[in-house]
């Protein structure tokens, strides 16, 4: 049996990340209903505001995460599975961020840090992969 291509692994990670983001959006909708906060209001009960912040911060992070995941996947071939593994770590971090923030805002740091570390790892892999590809193309 051959190894699963890195692009398939990263595609699966991408789908899971989007599903987690959708779940966070559903949590905002549920909180809006539970705390009777009519659209377009974005403030009200603190639990609603926490759900909104988790959702919006994750959207802000997706904009960084997805390009890094895919650039690292395409160009970093030394350990082709590593970008997807860092993607899974990012997802775990975002779920921990959500759980921590919803429990108490000051508990969000560990999850944020894990996801940020995963993004940093992806950035490094992307840069290394691009440099290696550039060197091979110009050799």
pLDDT in tens, 20-30: 999 999 999 99
The residue extents of the domains of the chain are 6-138
Query: For residues 122 and 70, is the Cβ–Cβ distance under 8 A?
Result: no
Whether the predicted pLDDT of 1 surpasses 80: no
CATH of 6-138, one of 3.20.20.210, 1.20.120.550, 3.40.50.300, 1.10.10.60: 1.20.120.550
Residues 37/40/44/50 CA torsion (nearest 10 deg) = 100
Residues listed for the chain = 139
Query: For residues 96 and 114, is the Cβ–Cβ distance under 8 A?
Result: yes
Q: What is the pLDDT of residue 139?
A: 83
């Amino acid at each position: 049996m051959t190894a699963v291509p890195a692009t398939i692994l990263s595609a699966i990670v991408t789908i899971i990340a989007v599903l987690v983001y959708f779940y966070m959006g559903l949590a905002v909708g549920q909180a809006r209903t539970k705390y009777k906060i009519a659209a377009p209001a974005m403030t009200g009960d603190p639990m609603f505001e926490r759900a909104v912040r988790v959702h919006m911060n994750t959207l802000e992070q997706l904009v960084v995460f997805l390009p890094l995941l895919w650039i690292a996947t395409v160009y970093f071939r030394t350990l082709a599975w590593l970008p997807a593994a860092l993607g899974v770590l990012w997802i775990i971090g975002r779920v921990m961020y959500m759980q921590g923030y919803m429990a108490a805002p000051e508990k969000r740091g560990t999850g944020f840090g894990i996801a940020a570390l995963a993004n940093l790892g992806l950035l490094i892999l992307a840069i290394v992969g691009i440099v290696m590809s550039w060197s091979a193309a110009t050799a």
